[in-house]
């Protein structure tokens, strides 16, 4: 049986990567966000995951408006970061886990999810910024990566309910995985924010806290409105909450909130972090 040890839900805004590059993590503007990763670092040192399954959204590095898959799963041996135009330093490549990727893809197709399979794939700030937050210091990444990209850009968008169901299918695949790997799940993006238009700078603390209060024990509560309604509630980029919803589905049962952090604003964004841990399978069966 697969060994899913827990997960992380966190923002991925490029401004965070810029703060890391400038070394200003302890500045008053940034410290309330970065300090929220202290318990995450403690848990990672204790849990020692081998693989990270990351639900995120691509920002034009792989896919653009002319070709935008609803769900895409990476099945590459390694994933290279590239310049997106934000002025962020390009990060070292991340090793993949092709065997686990194909196992997940096969489960998703068996569950009638028509995913795009990517045997060559770049990863943008939505993956590398959370990795920098989790494992600072510039050393080799200690985990292998299985990236799962969700469309948050080109309408029609997948519904929150469909994203939760897809995450649950990934969770079933992880439960059936026979390898010894210790697997963590990530959902990156959000929370509420809008980068352009008449509502540029929009932040909805009430909706953000609703999501954080319900995602652990009642994730269905986040699926009772459409993706368009989420945009109304959280801004056009706030729909990235579907990445969190999918990640929560992949974690399955026996999830406990270990820590949370919420801080506004970070680069025009409501920034949040939640660390979720899993009870061992034998404990849930007892």
Catalytic residues: 125, 193
Cα separations in angstroms, 70 against 93, 157, 168, 224: 25, 7, 16, 20
User: 4, 171 in Cβ contact below 8 A?
Assistant: yes
DSSP 10-66: E---HHHHHHHHHT-TTSTTTHHHHGGGHHHHHHHHHH--SEEEEEE---SSS-BTT
Using CA atoms, how far apart are residues 44 and 40, in angstroms rounded to an integer? Answer: 6
E strands of 75-194, at which residues?
A: 78-81, 94-95, 116-118, 122-123, 144-150, 182-188
Burial label, 217 (beta-carbon count in 10 A; 0-12, 13-18, 19+): exposed
Cα angle 156, 210, 29; round to 5: 95
């Amino acid at each position: 049986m697969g060994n899913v040890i827990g997960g992380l839900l966190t923002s991925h805004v490029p401004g965070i990567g810029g703060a890391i590059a400038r070394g200003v993590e302890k500045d008053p503007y940034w410290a309330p966000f970065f300090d929220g990763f202290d318990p995450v670092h403690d848990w990672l040192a204790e849990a020692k995951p081998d693989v990270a399954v990351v639900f995120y959204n691509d920002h034009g590095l792989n896919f653009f408006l002319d070709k935008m898959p609803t769900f895409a799963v990476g099945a590459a041996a390694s994933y290279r970061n590239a310049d997106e135009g934000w002025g962020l330093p390009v990060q070292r490549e991340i090793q993949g886990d092709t065997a686990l990727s194909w196992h997940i893809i096969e489960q998703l197709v068996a569950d009638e999810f028509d995913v795009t399979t990517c045997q060559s794939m770049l990863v943008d700030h939505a993956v590398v910024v959370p990795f920098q937050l989790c494992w600072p210091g510039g050393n080799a990444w200690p985990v292998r990566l299985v990236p799962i990209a969700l469309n948050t850009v080109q309408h029609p968008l997948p519904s929150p309910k469909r994203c939760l169901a897809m995450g649950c299918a990934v969770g079933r695949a992880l439960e059936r995985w026979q390898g010894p790997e210790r697997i963590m799940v990530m959902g990156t993006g959000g929370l509420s924010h809008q980068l352009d238009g008449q509502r540029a700078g929009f932040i909805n603390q009430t909706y953000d806290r609703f999501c954080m209060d319900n995602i652990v024990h009642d994730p269905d509560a986040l699926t009772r409105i459409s993706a368009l309604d989420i945009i109304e509630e959280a801004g056009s980029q706030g729909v990235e909450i579907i990445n969190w919803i999918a990640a929560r589905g992949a974690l399955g049962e026996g999830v406990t909130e270990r820590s949370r952090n919420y801080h506004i604003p970070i680069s025009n964004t409501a920034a949040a972090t939640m660390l979720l841990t899993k009870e061992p399978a034998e404990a849930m069966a007892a």
